[in-house]
């Protein structure tokens, strides 16, 4: 199943759910020292 973001009337496809999860995992590892939501709480992947 495709995952994406809807902004107003536009749909931006991202890919699969596992791809999006990998993106948030990479962000947490490299930018947040492995602590999800420590620097970027709005992007902590809670909706995944």
Domain-embedded: residue 29:
yes
3-state secondary structure 1-48: CCEEEEECCEEEEEECHHHHHHHHHHHHHHHCCCCCCCCCHHHCCCCC
Whether the predicted pLDDT of 48 surpasses 70: no
What is the average pLDDT value for the chain, to the nearest integer?
77
Arithmetic mean of pLDDT, 22-39: 78
| Domain span holding position 23 | 3-43
Domain-embedded: residue 34:
yes
- Specify the pTM: 0.53
Cα 2 to Cα 32: distance, rounded to the nearest angstrom: 27
By percentage, how much of the chain surpasses pLDDT 70?
A: 79
| Greatest C-alpha distance within the chain | 35
Number of domains in the chain: 1
For residue 20, the model assigns a pLDDT of 82
Whether the predicted pLDDT of 46 surpasses 70: no
Residue 12 tokens read as 């931006």
Domain-embedded: residue 48:
no
For residue 9, the model assigns a pLDDT of 92
């Amino acid at each position: 199943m495709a995952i994406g973001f809807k902004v107003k009337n536009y749909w931006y496809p991202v890919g699969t759910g596992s791809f999006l999860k990998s993106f948030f995992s990479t962000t947490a590892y490299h930018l947040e020292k492995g602590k999800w939501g420590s620097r970027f709480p709005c992007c902590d992947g809670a909706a995944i």
